Amino acid sequence: MFAAIQDLEVALRTRIIQSFSFPYGAFWFMDDTLFKDKVIYLSCLECIRKEVYRSNEDFIKEHFMRYDEPSLPPVWKTMEVVSFGVLSKLYCNFRDVQLKKYVASSFGLPQYTYLESWMKCATVLRNYCAHHARLWNRRFPWKPQLPERLPLKWVRTLPLRPYKLYAQLCYLSYLEQNITPCSRLNEKLSALLEGASPAFLKAMGFPERWKEEELFR
């Protein structure tokens, strides 16, 4: 799961940086007029400054040796060292809905709100994985939006419990179709759960015939 989240993180950084920079330039993340909620924006900007100034990356050190202004490097350098959580907040708080739709559509999502929801969930899931926290039988605080239909392979959503692990796996597997078509996530997942008892799977929110879903076949 952590490997799938890393795929998602790299893809999101790349597509957000590229898509937002073409119309708004290399320092769009420093323009408060581009964001809806100024309080959230200022909190994000403070986190960005802290993460950049304490970074030991060579490209950050080299940048500050060469340039004094602006106070932060361009977005393709800065966003490399900020957390996934900050990246998620910047996207969700961005004012230009058309650009957000464009980024979401590049992941096979017809609504940008789906990507917002999934980014928030992935941020929490990533933190659990990074700290080796328990995923089995956990109730997740953020519930992903689970539309009935999506353009790529998807699942039947009616029997799902969105606060369980299976729902998290559904959006990760869906996004992997677009990011890494040759991903072995489903193969590894199937091998990991081979022989697991129905009670074990039910505790994680798996439906009885989950392997028959188009997404996991």
Token pair for residue 2?
Answer: 């952590």
What does the pLDDT read at residue 87?
96
Here the tokens at position 193 are 């759960």
pLDDT digits (tens, 9 = 90+) for 9-23: 999 999 999 999 999
In percent, the amount of the chain with pLDDT more than 90 equals 91
Mean pLDDT of 170-188: 92
Nearest 5°: phi and psi at 21? -80, -30
110's tokens: 């017809």
CA distance 190 to 159: 20
Q: Judge whether 205 and 146 are in contact, CB under 8 Å.
A: no
Q: What is the amino acid identity at position 160?
A: L
The Cα 55–Cα 103 span in angstroms is 28
In the chain, pLDDT over 70 holds for what percent of residues?
100
Cis peptide leading into residue 70 (ω within 30°): yes
CB 154 within 8 A of CB 132: no
The owner of tokens 């392997």 is: 211
CA angle 77, 2, 21 (to 5 degrees): 25
CB 52 within 8 A of CB 111: no
201-211 pLDDT tens trace? 999 999 989 99
Residue 157 is predicted with a pLDDT of 86
CB 49 within 8 A of CB 72: yes
In tens, the pLDDT along 87-109 reads 999 999 999 999 999 999 999 99
Q: How far apart are CA 159 and CA 157, in angstroms?
A: 6
Quick: pLDDT tens for 131-175: 999 998 999 999 999 999 999 999 998 888 999 999 999 999 999
Question: Minimal CA–CA distance to 180: which of 48, 39, 4, 43?
Answer: 4
- Going by C-alpha positions, the residue among 164, 174, 170, 158 that lies closest to residue 141 is 164
Rounded to two decimals, the pTM is 0.93
